[in-house]
Amino acid sequence: MKKIRLGILGAGRIVARVMKDMHLAQNVEITAIAARDLIRAQEAARQYHIPHAYGSYLELAQSPEVDLVYITTPHPFHMEQSILMMENGKHVICEKPMTISHHQTQRMMDCARKNNVFLMEAMWTRFLPSVREQMRLIREGAIGEVRNVFAQFSWSALDYDPEDRVFNPALAGGALLDLGVYPLMMCMHILGSDPEKVQSMCRISREGVDMHTSVQMQYPNGTIAQFFCGMDAESNDSMQIFGSKGYISMPLHWQPKCFTLCPMGQDEKHFTFDDPGEPYHYEFDHAAECILQGLTESPIVPLEESLAASRICTAIRHEHGIVYPGEPEA
């Protein structure tokens, strides 16, 4: 089978994680890496045995050695960089959150459709065997009708540094976009992307970003999803899915390797998966399959769902007065 040639935009810390288990990819080969500093790109290329290194993102966009580009930079830069790639005919996987606001997400979607290229938010969790098996059980009625979902993703910044990107409004910092997109999109994966009511509470830092955000969403059928994310409190990053006939408990929901099914009146069933440590290759293989089939978006992470998630995050932030520099206020 033909392999899709993947270029990496950015040479930050995430590259080491991505490369750790990329040898397991079946439909993708990494052919290039680009950074704003050529020396940095060349060092990464040597370290990870990547054939081509570029000292500008434009060179990556124009490279004949690349079909698909993986955007790894901080989210304030995603829209501009993704559009540059797509306008040069490249397919794009963009790290989460896709953008800082739904206005930017819509512009990226419009650009992808105009240029007839594939675009997907890199919600890698959805492609893990553990999550796919969990979703299969839910859809087959293993816990009956889902009534409530509760999730958490939080860590405590004991070494709080106001200069760090995650606390900086100019770099779209805050818990919701850095952490909250994981439980939000897991809830949407289970329940759908159209809650009819969204309520939230925030604790805001002195720099003006959310240190902690709690969200409650109610769906038209009455199902409720709740999650919190934070940078000021430790959690076990778990998720529970409660149904009319049982429940599922999943520890470390953003990178799960196991879960427990608890059917009503029956013994618990434990599911364990021997996943590699950094299984990014699942989402890259999926994107490659979509591209080889001529698809311009993923059926597992559809663009309209990314737009809906972005719209919810924007509304939550603006309700609490968190508006990033340069973004529209509505």
Q: What is the tens place of the pLDDT at every residue in 25-65?
A: 999 999 999 999 999 999 999 999 999 999 999 999 999 99
Q: Please compute the mean of the pLDDT values over residues 96-115 and round it to a whole number.
A: 97
Share of the chain above pLDDT 90, in %: 90
Whether 54 and 198 map to the same domain: the answer is no
- Say which CATH number the domain at 138 has: 3.30.360.10
Whether 178 and 94 map to the same domain: the answer is no
Residue 279, domain member (yes or no): no
Residue 121 has pLDDT above 90, yes or no: yes
Whether 8 and 88 map to the same domain: the answer is yes
pLDDT band at 275 (very low <50, low <70, confident <90, very high): confident
**Interstrand relation of 119-121 and 91-94 (parallel, antiparallel or unpaired):** parallel
Least confident piece of the model among 83-87, 133-137, 284-288, 323-327? 323-327
- Say which CATH number the domain at 65 has: 3.40.50.720
Whether 314 and 175 map to the same domain: the answer is yes
For 234, half-sphere exposure in the C-beta direction (CA atoms, 13 angstrom radius) is: 1
Residue 105, domain member (yes or no): yes
CB atoms within 10 A of CB 114: 11
Comparing CA positions, the residue from 254, 306, 282 lying closest to residue 98 is 306
Q: Please compute the mean of the pLDDT values over residues 98-103 and round it to a whole number.
A: 96
Quote the CA–CA distance of 47 and 3 in Å, as a whole number: 22
Whether 115 and 92 map to the same domain: the answer is yes
Residue 280, domain member (yes or no): no
Quote the CA–CA distance of 327 and 172 in Å, as a whole number: 10
Whether 78 and 48 map to the same domain: the answer is yes
Quote the CA–CA distance of 140 and 134 in Å, as a whole number: 10
Residue 324, domain member (yes or no): no
Q: Please compute the mean of the pLDDT values over residues 69-96 and round it to a whole number.
A: 97
Residue 213 has pLDDT above 80, yes or no: yes
Whether 115 and 16 map to the same domain: the answer is yes
Whether 164 and 229 map to the same domain: the answer is yes
Distances (CA, A) of 248 to 108, 139, 147, 188: 35, 13, 12, 16
Whether 144 and 79 map to the same domain: the answer is no
Comparing CA positions, the residue from 246, 238, 166 lying closest to residue 205 is 166
Whether 85 and 150 map to the same domain: the answer is no
Q: Please compute the mean of the pLDDT values over residues 111-130 and round it to a whole number.
A: 97
* CA 186 centroid distance within chain: 10
Whether 91 and 199 map to the same domain: the answer is no
What's the total number of domains in the chain? Answer: 2
pLDDT band at 254 (very low <50, low <70, confident <90, very high): very high
Quote the CA–CA distance of 131 and 142 in Å, as a whole number: 14
Comparing CA positions, the residue from 23, 25, 41 lying closest to residue 33 is 41
Tokens of 41: 């790109």
Residue 326, domain member (yes or no): no
Q: What is the tens place of the pLDDT at every residue in 146-176?
A: 999 999 999 998 777 777 889 999 999 999 9
Residue 327, domain member (yes or no): no
Whether 207 and 248 map to the same domain: the answer is yes
Quote the CA–CA distance of 57 and 39 in Å, as a whole number: 14
For residue 209, give its domain range. 129-274+309-319
Residue 14, domain member (yes or no): yes
Residue 329, domain member (yes or no): no
